[in-house]
Amino acid sequence: MEQQSKNDLLLRAAKCMPVERVPVWMMRQAGRSDPLYRQTREKLNLPLERLFRTCPMPMSHTDVEAAVKISLLPKRIGVDAIIVYKDILTPLAPMGAHFRFSPGPVLHTPIRTQSQVNALSPVDEPHEQLEYTGHVIRSLRETLNGELPLIGFAGAPLTLAFFLIAGESPMKKGEGISEKAAPVFEMMDNAPELLCQLLDKLTEMTINYLNYQISMGAQIVQLFESIADVLSREMYTRFALPYHQKIFDELNRDVPSVMFAKECSFINLMHQSGADVLSVGKCIDIGKTRKQIGGSIALQGNVDNDVLRDGTFSDITAAVHHCIEQGGKIGHILNLSHGLHRDTPFENVKHFVKIAKTY
């Protein structure tokens, strides 16, 4: 599926190659902050578990077309990459963990016992078990025809384990950890061997899943450790880092890889993951980090997503200018500290991209 790329800024930046300008995209850019997304979802009238394929169901070309259409919505505001519209929980369905959304993700029976961990199926035939995702990626590459690079992604094993053990989102609607995550920390303390068995299974699935996305046409892949902000350094070192390293070590190295760890201050541990790009939160000073890790690894981020939601155009302009200047312009992909808030004014989103491209 080799195509002449018309905009390869992001791919070059990920490899620390010279670029004409710093590329820009946003996590959750195809989502609820976009009024056209809300209109599209209302018109489709399809549950998220069907579009995300977090429940088992036959492959539907209609659903593939809908996921492709939603993925491409941010193209109209000028971003430099498209990310596949799906959820980090998608590959858990073929393992036997079927999440539904009401409205947040819910697992009927949380995974907390040895027998439940043993019962989780391997994802060793992703071309069959995750066929829907493959069709979405292939259709996106064909539709884009080299216009923009395509980003694939997966949830990191520990983040997925938090969802499986909690049985729902481990995070509060605002910021911080939910009381539903208490069984995860209990397992860390009282049954670490069981947790590691679960993480081993999730790691093998993630390696197969990301390599499958690459084989179907993803040109860069990102691993999301979305609960990194609630981990101590000891937890990160024991239950996150070894699995990051195994994943990046076994990925197809023909495409760049990104390590996202939400508001993680352990930049030296992130650096040890083996990823080509480190996506950092607002707790990190990109300028200091660049001096610390050198120029052989790219950085992504890290405009405060709260500023994008709550700030004026002047605030956003200043934040973008500061981030680009600190990033050093080489080996930097402009993004947010985390995903777009659902209540971010869409005019602010468009202004963010406009300022990034005209800096």
User: Does 1 map to a domain?
Assistant: no
Sorting pLDDT into bands at 50, 70 and 90, what band is 55?
confident
Distance of CA 89 to CAs 3, 9, 51, 55, 206, Å? 30, 29, 12, 10, 11
Q: Which amino acid is at 337?
A: S
Task: Give the tens place of pLDDT for each residue, 73-99.
Answer: 999 999 999 999 999 999 999 999 999
Q: Work out the widest C-alpha separation in the chain, in whole angstroms.
A: 56
- The domain in which residue 308 lies consists of 9-358
Task: Give the tens place of pLDDT for each residue, 250-286.
Answer: 999 999 999 999 999 999 999 999 999 999 999 999 9
Sorting pLDDT into bands at 50, 70 and 90, what band is 1?
low
Distance, CA of 29 to CA of 14 (rounded, Å)? 19
Element (H, E) at 300: strand 298-303
Task: Give the tens place of pLDDT for each residue, 169-220.
Answer: 988 765 677 788 999 999 999 999 999 999 999 999 999 999 999 999 999 9
Distance, CA of 321 to CA of 35 (rounded, Å)? 27
Domain with 29 in it: what CATH number?
3.20.20.210
Task: Give the tens place of pLDDT for each residue, 217-235.
Answer: 999 999 999 999 999 999 9
User: Does 233 map to a domain?
Assistant: yes
Report the number of distinct structural domains present in the chain.
Answer: 1
Q: Which residues contact 44 (CB under 8 A, 6 or more apart)?
A: 51, 66
User: Does 354 map to a domain?
Assistant: yes
Under DSSP, is residue 128 helix (H, G, I), strand (E, B) or coil? helix
Q: Show the tokens assigned to 259.
A: 């390590």
pTM for this predicted structure: 0.96
Position with higher pLDDT, 167 vs 58 = 167
User: Does 3 map to a domain?
Assistant: no
Cβ atoms 34, 342 nearer than 8 A = no
Residue 5 has pLDDT above 80, yes or no: no
Q: Show the tokens assigned to 34.
A: 């976009």
